[in-house]
Chains A and B, each alone.
Chain A
């Protein structure tokens, strides 16, 4: 490992003790779920590739400055076992926010801090940017928002830079709190499919014209919210014929269209 560090070779260290690396192509994971290992590996490979192309003459000026620190985006970091579901004070792109996962809330001193942190969830997490705090510790600031909405809006904003969420069988522990999400339709539909546990969410999204990157972003967000159950085979869907239709189908689709949902 020391040799790889010295030579800057891509490295994934799997250890319970935290190890800090300076290079984006070297990272540490404490959690051994397939999802996490695969995404960590992708991060390492992507960073190593970026490093290679930046080093080759002619491309250096065009490529974005390589990340100085950190191995993961803030969003990915939040899906880590060390942080997921925990109360933390976080520094995201220089903005202080309080994630109170034990209450499903996020707090900030100003609305602009809140929105800037949301928009920076796809950026590399600052080293030591997260601090676990005891439950019931009041959050900083007066602005309070739904943690689920914060994460899903932030994840959709950086959806193009997120690694592919591994696996194919997921379900939700609870409905995410999407009442105040700025992204109104896509996360709601994906959540409802995950709740129904009928078939692949990716396939249903494809049929509905929802991009694979949007599904991917929602999965990362729901995982960061600690709502996603991974690897559980979808249970047989509840028999739909048992209940009489409450609204006639043509009327239901008109009603849905009236509220911006089309099916």
Chain B
């Protein structure tokens, strides 16, 4: 009584299609990239988060209304001496979060150069989000919200101020990216792969034949 091949999914519920996207986090050291990922994936925060020396990898899935987006997250090393290695990780990425620390103007400048580099070197349809992290430290704020927002608008970036510490906007920024990513068949590395069992497209399969009575 199995339903081999005939996957049964209700209308309106999250559908079986999983789209997979590579997402990379970039930004100066200590702005909180690893902390954002840790918050998003495990719901945790560490005051003493070790600096990343390498590129950490985690996955996390976001369920949208119509599709499921699986992120392969690459958290990169922000230290300047590893800068030249960053292309290894943003190459082929469909999404990027460029992070700065709202209490540090330099990190915002660095974020801008990351954005420029992505625009030049990354794949042209990459979805870029700008995250002004450590929003919980607003008393030490050095980067005005409006300034960053204006910059994001000019460059058509998603923008949110986040806090890995309080979890503010952390899920939201990933969700916003998930929504913005193209889920069409041409969606590159999305889950358009040979299926062991074909599922006939359900919507198009309305019953045929005329109605009677």
A, B from the same assembly: no
